C-alpha cells in the first residue's frame, strides 16, 4: 500500500474520525491515540490496530497508512499534531486489583488522566468510573501519558460495586470529616479509595455506604484539586505498604 490517502471520504478515514465521539468509541470498542509516545505505548501493550501517519514511519507495522496533511488535520484533536495517530482496541481486561480507585462523577479529563497516571505509578491497577468523563477521551489519554494501557479501566456503578465487593475496605474523602489521612489505618489487603466531583464531591448515596471518611489537612485552602488529593492518598498508601 504505497498510495497516500488524500480523500476525507476514504472509508478508513471516515471510520477513524468517528472515534472522536464517545458513542462510536463505545460502539466499536476502539479509540484513537495521538503522537509518537502514545502510539508506541499502544504498540508495546498490544492494542494498536491501525496507524495513520504524515511523513515517515520509523518502525514496521502492517496496518499503516500514509495520509495527506488535510486528512491528518481531520483526524487530529490537537493544535500541533505530531503527524501520527493510532487506532487501538479498548483493553477488555476486567481485573479487580487489590488496590483500586473509584471515581464518582469526576468531570475534568485532565484530572482523570492524571489520576490514571498516578494510579499506574503507585500500584492502583484498577480504576472504576461512575458517571464520569470517558476514559478514552483524547484529553484523558494524553494526560495519562500512556498509563491507560497499564491499568484496568472499568465503568460501573459505585453503589453496585460496594454491594458486590464487601471484602474491600473503602475510604472516601470528606471535607467535613474530623479524621485525617495521616491518622488512618490503611493496612488492609483490599482497599478502595473513592474520589468525587470537582465541585460537589462524592454523592450522598455513596458517602452513606462508606465506613471510612477522612480529610487531608490543609492550612489555607478549602479543598484540593481531585487529581492531587487522589495522588497524595495513593502515595501515602504505596509508601506505607512498600516499606
> How many beta carbons lie within 10 A of that of residue 55, not counting itself?
10
CA 91 to chain centroid: 12
Indicate whether 80 belongs to the interface with a second copy (CB under 8 A).
no
Give 3-state DSSP helix, strand, coil % of the chain, rounded to 5: 35, 25, 40
Residue 79 or 220: the one with the smaller Cβ distance to a second copy is: 220
DSSP state of 180: B
Cα separation, 31 vs 21, whole angstroms: 9
**Least distance in Å: CB of 227 to a second copy?**
7
Beta bridge partners of 194: 102, 172
Q: Which position among 50, 66, 118, 212 is part of the footprint of a second copy (CB under 8 A)?
A: 118
**Least distance in Å: CB of 213 to a second copy?**
19
Indicate whether 137 belongs to the interface with a second copy (CB under 8 A).
no
Indicate whether 215 belongs to the interface with a second copy (CB under 8 A).
no
Cα separation, 25 vs 113, whole angstroms: 17
DSSP state of 89: E
Q: Which position among 10, 82, 145, 157 is part of the footprint of a second copy (CB under 8 A)?
A: 145
**Least distance in Å: CB of 124 to a second copy?**
9
Question: Can you give the binding site for a second copy, defined by CB under 8 A?
Answer: 110, 114, 117-118, 120-123, 125, 143, 145, 147, 150, 182, 216-221, 223-225, 227-228, 231-232, 235, 238-239, 242-243
Amino acid at each position: 500500500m504505497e498510495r497516500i490517502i488524500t480523500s476525507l471520504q476514504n472509508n478508513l478515514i471516515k471510520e477513524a474520525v468517528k472515534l472522536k465521539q464517545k458513542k462510536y468509541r463505545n460502539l466499536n470498542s476502539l479509540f484513537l491515540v495521538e503522537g509518537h509516545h502514545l502510539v508506541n505505548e499502544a504498540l508495546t501493550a498490544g492494542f494498536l490496530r491501525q496507524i495513520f501517519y504524515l511523513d515517515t514511519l520509523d518502525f514496521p507495522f502492517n496496518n499503516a497508512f500514509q495520509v495527506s496533511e488535510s486528512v491528518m488535520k481531520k483526524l487530529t484533536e490537537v493544535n500541533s499534531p505530531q503527524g501520527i495517530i493510532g487506532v487501538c482496541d479498548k483493553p477488555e481486561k476486567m481485573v479487580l486489583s487489590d488496590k483500586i480507585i473509584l471515581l464518582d462523577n469526576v468531570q475534568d479529563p485532565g484530572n482523570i488522566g492524571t489520576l490514571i497516571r498516578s494510579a499506574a505509578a503507585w500500584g492502583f491497577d484498577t480504576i472504576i468510573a461512575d458517571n464520569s468523563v470517558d476514559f478514552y477521551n483524547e484529553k484523558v489519554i494524553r494526560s495519562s501519558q500512556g498509563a491507560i494501557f497499564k491499568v484496568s479501566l472499568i465503568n460501573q456503578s459505585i453503589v453496585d460495586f460496594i454491594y458486590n465487593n464487601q471484602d474491600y475496605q473503602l475510604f472516601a474523602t470528606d471535607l467535613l470529616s474530623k479524621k485525617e489521612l495521616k491518622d488512618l489505618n490503611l493496612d488492609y489487603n483490599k482497599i478502595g479509595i473513592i474520589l468525587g466531583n470537582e465541585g460537589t464531591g462524592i454523592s450522598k448515596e455513596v458517602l452513606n455506604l462508606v465506613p471510612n471518611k477522612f480529610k487531608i489537612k490543609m492550612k489555607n485552602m478549602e479543598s484540593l484539586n481531585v487529581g492531587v488529593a487522589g495522588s497524595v492518598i495513593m502515595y501515602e498508601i504505596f509508601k506505607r505498604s512498600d516499606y
